[in-house]
Structure 1
């Protein structure tokens, strides 16, 4: 595994990379859309093209990699140095479109971009705004307040601790205030606003897939809610989106119990030695127990395979959260962030973070992880080690 970092200095509380930009949220309600590709191309000279592939669009990595696993010398050279790419504070502003939300995004708890829109969960509710692309901002100038508006609007009064967007739906876990979900987010209508509906009285974690909405009702127990769904046609490639095409769209919540019943799942979890936390993912979940992390794949033909031993030992520190990425499992503790890759834990950040996330459902950022610390945002591109070339090619 190899890792390359790009550092954006500043006191931000959240960050999310989506389509053209790294969206940076400040405590004072200012939102910056940092143009990753333009910065790489204009500031990194000979490394601009490969850096843009790492940090702006991972789909471009194929231009630097061959089908036999070998890679271009410029990619190998950039990854061979552990020195991060450090953006100056001046360039963070100079390569950003700047939006003033009048405090709408203060006390941010979670952010989710989906289908050209952003959903920002805060202590005082959820706001929805446009995820503007470069084409939308032609009348604006980099480094200045944008002429265009994000059209932010409050769409819920509940404090969303976690937000998920997938399959034409957006769901939010609001702790003791419950869980909510809205449908129709797959539309291209720019004036569309989500309408959330409650579906559970308590929700501390949430996930969506084509068979169910999964909800955590406490630190370990899962509730499954069946869903209605319909097939959808592929979207026009020109439409602003960085989200994978699933071919399905959720239409409603049908109630408890799908395939594997809640009771069966929770019996399995309670039998694990000292189970303390469950973490939900699209079609899997991980349970942290006294002797390590157990990995489960569920809602597949109504059955679940129960591991006999931990999949991996846990880091020797208190685990606060776990999230997914194409590079592996990301775990946040009180003062460190770890990545599980090839059954090994790698330290990503050695200090407390406001947030950390991967982008497993993104087309452009599958290899990217973002972490927000007290004084910077780190974008970490993670790639596997290249295959060794045959002797004749060395």
Structure 2
């Protein structure tokens, strides 16, 4: 039996809330020697749907300053008075540290039981009937509006769950699922946007597998699946709300994106970039266009990666010709540059949304020359 099931079976009021383990209805003593109830909050380290070993020995607490039965603060438990808002409505007031001899707790059942007892034992001296084992009646199920197929414990461990609010409800399109586009999907699928729509009319074959995220099997490339459908199938194992559009995208498709919040363009040179860009701008859509060109100097490959951001507030010039004919067009396998181009685009998107601080000012377009190893702004 996993730790969460054991805690529920013991009657604790526990729930997983967007990557946090929340233990409610925990009795404790206040400074005026009355019994109140507080809440323990700790990052939930998950393996699939199961809790694994706690990330550390500490926890956060929502409530007033906890005391012993004489109203003296529990200084051996309280590390500091520390206000945190991990999620909307999930706010804590204190940070606890009760380190066991081994340095950490072996499982969440032990950790929760220890912290509950450290608080509750003093409350029982005032009211012997008090307990944290309230056996609440709660329907167990996956939240209808939760954007992932299993819980995101990475954000809670990093303390970025509150920042993730900027992504909630967003509808995003990725046009082009080649090397760069598939890496964009890999990164965007791991943030809690509501929908991701994938557009590509091409098929997924060997050369795509060698510059895309993950490891495609031989059966994957033998099937010659449509790229949009292939990647939707892969990432739907992690993310809900992924929709495949197995068609080539042109200016005539832009009407489908009405109401979308953002578009990533990862087009090849055969696409009507000029027409698509003009249609996106006419529809007042925000988008990022990426481009990459690679040449052979005779002493090794070099090239340039480009990221251009265009919003209704600030339009920027997009090179309508895309990438000049170069070694990349001859299918050199350079997945690392695809991944870097995608990462730069997604970082720029997150900066645009306010997830990342923007200290660079208004730089709508920039480039990374591979041989120079620098990032430079481009004239808009």
Scaled to the shorter chain, the TM-score interval is under 0.3
- In terms of fraction of residues, the more helix-rich structure is 2
Which structure is higher in RCO with an 8 Å CA cutoff and minimum separation 6?
1
Normalised by the length of structure 2, the TM-score is 0.27
TM-score, L = length of structure 1 = 0.26
